[in-house]
Amino acid sequence: MKLIALHDKTGKILAAARPATDNYKGPVPVAGKGTTLVQLEIPQEHAKLDLVSICTRLRVDARTSKLVEHKAKTRR
């Protein structure tokens, strides 16, 4: 399953669309200054999540253009 995601330089997903087919003609985010638009595969273990959960639980690894889980923040 694919995801079209607009992300910032840290990988935070700012907007997304989940195309139902390869010929998807629906609305998609538009990249502006400081953002990147990518189409990528949703990992199998997250495929059943709704779009909001995907956007809040995952981020885009800017180097590999893959979805990855957020790292847990360490407390000092």
pLDDT in tens, 46-70: 989 999 999 999 999 988 889 999 8
Query: What value does the mean pLDDT take over residues 39-43?
Result: 91
**What are the structural domain ranges in the chain?**
2-68
- Would you state the pLDDT for residue 76? 62
Instruction: Name the region of 40 (left: φ>0; alpha: ψ -120 to 50; beta: rest).
Output: beta
Torsion angle, alpha carbons of 20, 45, 64, 41, to 10: -10
Question: Model's pTM, two decimal places?
Answer: 0.82
